[in-house]
Structure 1
Amino acid sequence: MNHKGAHQPRRRKFKSARLVDGEYDEKPWAATKHPKLKWERAIFYGAVGIGVAIGAIICYMAYASVTDHSYCMILDDSFQSIDKNVWDFEIQRGGFGSGTFEWTTDDPKNAYTDIDGLHIVPTLTTDTTPISKGQIVDNFVLNLTTDGTCTTKGVDNCSIRSNKTAGTIINPVRSARLSTKGKKSMTYGKVEVVAKMPKGNWLWPAIWMMPEKDTYGKWPASGEIDIAESRGNWGDDYSSGGRDSIVSALHWGPVAEADAFWKTSGQNRLRRTDYSKSFHTFGVEWSENYLFTYIDSRLLQVFFVKFNRYRSMWDRGGFGQTIVNHSALFDPWSQTGRPSTPFDQPFYLILNVAVGGTNGFFPDGVGNKPWGDQSPTAMKEFWDGQAGWYPTWGEGDTRGLTVRSVKMWKQGAC
């Protein structure tokens, strides 16, 4: 505490009692150079130089190991419109093998273009059809085969009857799924998609590839290439992230129960922002010897797989020691003699926004998930939780995947 006007004693400057008179050298050790000093410096800087050189050689060898192939562009779409010569709509309501809850359509409310590019936007079924909330849950038949719109086969994929007692409901959300199947595909090459991910709980955007034919058997025996997948949820609840994270993977296995995607996958997670805030380039480069996915630049790889590290994908997976349903597995790939099999066939591109699902992409009990994957009424549980998730979707196209451009090159000269 200070008292105004109180006498403050004057401080004396410190003075050494040992050094009273005369001058003295502040750094006597600097007056004479030690004869070994120049060698110590030479050794130090020489070691630094050698370390830098070795690091440069390692970086160059890693870069050189990824061959720069020649490529021929087969698709360059900036989405002035949805070109029917390139894209087809996949229309169904069966969940595409992942138990997702959306009904995919070709409705312009779910897929359209504007100055920003292509928008794939999920909507509530009650907002974009005459189907009422009461009909969603009871006494209404949706039959896409009768309507002439279903693009696949199977009763469950094309039709559903809502029944309050059974807990079966009409798909409460509509979205879109576009693919280049039968129109633009490649075996080895590159794909780059410039896109912005959606924001909203239980939205599942994906940029991915599937084989034109099931050459080696049903999924995943013939492979799947996931270039970029994300969750619309905020990422804190998930070890692999939400909309702040991009996941890439190869799916492969002799049967679905032995999908070995976890051996060929990776993720990239942002800090203090997320992939719904701005556009990024999501790419894949694929050859007979390797495949890797990247974000914005080939230098930012999400995962890298060197095929010829193993004799075959069968050996990579170690499936010879695997038993499923009390039976040994059949090797569908090694007979080709190519280490990249099944990733040695034509693959096409898919762009879509799914909603929910029962395959574990959204783990049970995480993020206030309102349904259980094993529940026979999972879709109804999701719909009953609408008050929790729908406000997170926001307005307009922010709930959708926005694609500014798609470029595809096949390996080799044009």
Structure 2
Amino acid sequence: MIRLIKSKQTYFILLFAALVVALFPAPKANAAYTLVWSDEFDGPTINTNNWAFEIGTGSGGWGNNELQYYTNRSDNARIENGNLVIEAKRESYGGMNYTSARLKTQGKKSFKYGRIEARIKLPNGQGLWPAFWTLGADIATVNWPRSGEIDIMEHVNNENNTYGFIHWDANGHVSYGGPSQSFDVTQYHVYSIEWTPSAIKWFVDGVQFREANIANNINSTEEFHKEHFLLLNMAVGGNWPGSPNASTPFPSKMYVDYVRVYQDVANPPGDIVSGGTYKLINPKSGKALDVSGAGTANGTNVQIWTDNGTGAQKWTIYRNANGTYKLINVNSTLALDVEGIGTANGTNVQVWTDSGNAAQTWNITRNADGTYKLINPNSGKALDVASAGTDNGTNVQIWTDNGTDAQKWNLIRVQ
């Protein structure tokens, strides 16, 4: 969601960044995209394994002087006929005069690069501000705008176009973006971005209307080379659209048919070789990912232990058809597994018979410092050393992706 520019210095930084992006466009994407995650909204209720609710008014109306109170009530967000419906209402609630909903995948699903799209039908009305967007998964530690933000679709008031923007930090808040072509926003349309290491491109119904160059962190755009989570919301009022008036229809509804994420699975990250055997060393402790007691039974715990080169610390990495990976322990031939297909922070990691289920799939992403993180796509959470411990026998678990050293691994090929 757009934040207003608050200083003359920031304005000139923004202008410079926009000119550089426009004058030096990135190469066109040529990715072999495969669907890696979606929510089709075909269940009876909102899937809380995918979505969490923001509640309340936020600080200063979420930084934009917005006028709504976000709730988790079915009055404001629900599933109807295969659609997620976000409904803004004029009513007194929580000290505000309007209610609406804001859903996010934070702590549940996050993504870096790919095609991200949603099929959405929007309302028109003065003061209405629906959006489909992303924020950096590390926002809780680095704050906005250092988290980065990608606005895939924003619409304000009665305009016959939408907007695509990015926001980031370059010694202050800067942004780049602008409007789409003209069309009827009150009908269903597919809003998408194609996001690669080189560029972010915006589309409506497959027609590109904007492109930002992010290659090699140009203009301090490192915020767009890390995991982001997704958001869907409809704000009421705020700095950009202004306040509703007597003509604004309430209730107003935003219909989301689906959200889908596609990624290029043709190219594995870094130099990982499918079928290669690796040891995984946590750089904070210098210790290896290890099967406790060199065990071979289902449910044997996974821990860190002094690197000793045994089979308990060797893992053969295989690439799955959908671009995720499984890790098979050489000694036991069992797979690295999230206990009970759990999704909660602190869920134990163990070894278990290779079954190919969601508990045993991992996205492997290279960090800027050359280490890797392993994200379980079922939970959206990272392979993590409990309490950032460094002692032999410290447990390994899943935890919200936070970019700390407890979630970093050096992958060293041994054969």
TM-score (norm 2): 0.54
Q: 1:67 aligns with which of 11, 22, 30?
A: 30
Aligned equivalent of 1:312: 217
Per-residue CA deviation, residues 317-352 of structure 1 (Å, 9 max, x unaligned), is xxxxxxxxxxxxxxxx5xxxxxx5111111011000
Aligned equivalent of 2:334: none
Q: 2:164 aligns with which of 241, 244, 248?
A: 248
Could you say if the C-alpha distance between residues 92 and 63 of structure 1 is closer, same or farther in structure 2, counting changes exceeding 3 Å? closer
SS in 2 for 1:125: strand
Structure having greater relative contact order (Cα 8 Å, sep ≥ 6): 1
Aligned equivalent of 1:269: 181
Q: 2:205 aligns with which of 296, 302, 305?
A: 296
Query: How far has the Cα of 1:99 moved from its partner?
Result: 1.6
Aligned partners of 1:274 and 1:283: how far apart in 2? 17
Q: 1:117 aligns with which of 73, 76, 83?
A: 83
Could you say if the C-alpha distance between residues 296 and 102 of structure 1 is closer, same or farther in structure 2, counting changes exceeding 3 Å? same
Q: Quick check: 2:77–2:101 contact (8 Å CA) kept in 1?
A: yes
Per-residue CA deviation, residues 130-149 of structure 1 (Å, 9 max, x unaligned), is xxxxxxxxxxxx5xxxxxxx
Aligned partners of 2:76 and 2:85: how far apart in 1? 8
Query: How far has the Cα of 1:274 moved from its partner?
Result: 2.5
Aligned partners of 1:97 and 1:186: how far apart in 2? 25
Query: How far has the Cα of 1:391 moved from its partner?
Result: 3.8
2:133 is the alignment partner of 1:208: yes
Query: How far has the Cα of 1:221 moved from its partner?
Result: 1.8
Aligned equivalent of 1:393: 249
Query: How far has the Cα of 1:288 moved from its partner?
Result: 1.0
Per-residue CA deviation, residues 74-96 of structure 1 (Å, 9 max, x unaligned), is 22423433111111111011311
Aligned partners of 1:102 and 1:64: how far apart in 2? 41
| Structure 1: 4+ residue segments shifted above 4 A | none
Aligned partners of 1:64 and 1:217: how far apart in 2? 30
Output the amino acid matched with 1:230: H
Q: Quick check: 2:214–2:224 contact (8 Å CA) kept in 1?
A: no
**Residues 129-278 of structure 1 correspond to what in structure 2 (within 5 A)?**
142=94, 170-214=95-139, 217-231=142-156, 233-234=157-158, 242=159, 244-254=160-170, 258-261=172-175, 264-270=176-182, 274-276=184-186, 278=187
Query: How far has the Cα of 1:289 moved from its partner?
Result: 1.4
Q: Quick check: 2:180–2:210 contact (8 Å CA) kept in 1?
A: no
SS in 2 for 1:186: coil
2:262 is the alignment partner of 1:409: yes
Q: 1:283 aligns with which of 176, 180, 192?
A: 192
Could you say if the C-alpha distance between residues 115 and 212 of structure 1 is closer, same or farther in structure 2, counting changes exceeding 3 Å? same
Output the amino acid matched with 2:190: T
Over the aligned positions, Cα root-mean-square deviation in angstroms equals 2.4
Aligned partners of 1:215 and 1:116: how far apart in 2? 32
Q: 1:354 aligns with which of 235, 258, 272?
A: 235
Aligned partners of 1:66 and 1:174: how far apart in 2? 40
Q: Which has the higher helix share?
A: 1
**Residues 35-74 of structure 1 correspond to what in structure 2 (within 5 A)?**
65-74=28-37
Q: Quick check: 1:101–1:171 contact (8 Å CA) kept in 2?
A: yes
Per-residue CA deviation, residues 270-320 of structure 1 (Å, 9 max, x unaligned), is 2xx5201x10000011111111111111xx112112322xx533xx3xxxx
Query: How far has the Cα of 1:212 moved from its partner?
Result: 1.0
Among the aligned pairs, what percent are the same residue? Answer: 27
Q: 1:344 aligns with which of 225, 229, 240?
A: 225
Output the amino acid matched with 2:177: S
Q: Quick check: 1:247–1:302 contact (8 Å CA) kept in 2?
A: no
Q: Quick check: 2:127–2:248 contact (8 Å CA) kept in 1?
A: no
SS in 1 for 2:139: coil
Q: Quick check: 1:116–1:402 contact (8 Å CA) kept in 2?
A: no
Output the amino acid matched with 1:260: V
Aligned equivalent of 1:133: none
Q: Which has the higher strand share?
A: 2
Could you say if the C-alpha distance between residues 284 and 113 of structure 1 is closer, same or farther in structure 2, counting changes exceeding 3 Å? same
Per-residue CA deviation, residues 173-230 of structure 1 (Å, 9 max, x unaligned), is 0100001111111111121100011122101000000011139832112210000000
**Residues 22-37 of structure 1 correspond to what in structure 2 (within 5 A)?**
none
Output the amino acid matched with 1:294: F
Aligned partners of 2:34 and 2:101: how far apart in 1? 31
SS in 2 for 1:342: helix
Q: Quick check: 1:103–1:174 contact (8 Å CA) kept in 2?
A: yes
Query: How far has the Cα of 1:401 moved from its partner?
Result: 1.1
Structure 2, unmatched stretches of 5+, are 1-24, 266-322, 325-415
Could you say if the C-alpha distance between residues 72 and 194 of structure 1 is closer, same or farther in structure 2, counting changes exceeding 3 Å? closer
SS in 2 for 1:183: coil
Aligned partners of 1:100 and 1:312: how far apart in 2? 32
Aligned partners of 1:187 and 1:63: how far apart in 2? 18
Query: How far has the Cα of 1:72 moved from its partner?
Result: 4.6
Aligned partners of 1:66 and 1:173: how far apart in 2? 42
